[in-house]
Amino acid sequence: MQLSNLISEQIERDRRRGFKVDFDNDGQREDQLMRDLVGLFGEVGEFSNLLKKVMLARTTVGYVGPTLDDATPALREELADATIYLFRLVTILGGDLEQDILAKMARNDERYVDLEK
């Protein structure tokens, strides 16, 4: 499935579930951008907190925590949650995430050409 189709499916699910994805004015869009940004940070925070516990378990004598293998499914789920928030943010801004990523990759190719091996 193409990324644009995946985003469209998620946004339609959000719409059916009553999550705000359509706006009458910029104030509403800004409010939802802020809400979704907070949600994104929350998911990234959950990912970070779990990864911290994995690292503590590996590096701190006596600390009991998950291994990376044990935590991987939950870490991946947090990344999926964060990605859904990114889908919402780019949609609110009227973007095309596939094209935005491709354009950024091209800019990075120019920027980091001297690092190529």
HEC readout, 15-84: HHCCCCCCCCCHHHHHHHHHHHHHHHHHHHHHHHHHHHHHHHHHHCCCCCCCCHHHHHHHHHHHHHHHHH
pLDDT for 59-113, tens place per residue?
Answer: 999 999 999 999 999 999 999 999 999 999 999 999 999 999 999 999 999 999 9
Total residues belonging to the chain = 117
The reported pLDDT for the residue numbered 1 is: 82
pLDDT for 13-51, tens place per residue?
Answer: 999 999 999 999 999 999 999 999 999 999 999 999 999
The reported pLDDT for the residue numbered 69 is: 98
The reported pLDDT for the residue numbered 84 is: 97
The mean pLDDT value of the chain amounts to: 96
The reported pLDDT for the residue numbered 104 is: 97
For the chain, what are the domain ranges?
28-112
Yes or no: is domain 28-112 CATH 3.40.1280.10? no
Report the predicted TM-score, pTM, of the whole model to 2 decimal places.
0.91
Q: Contact 29/43 with Cβ under 8 angstroms?
A: no
The reported pLDDT for the residue numbered 96 is: 94
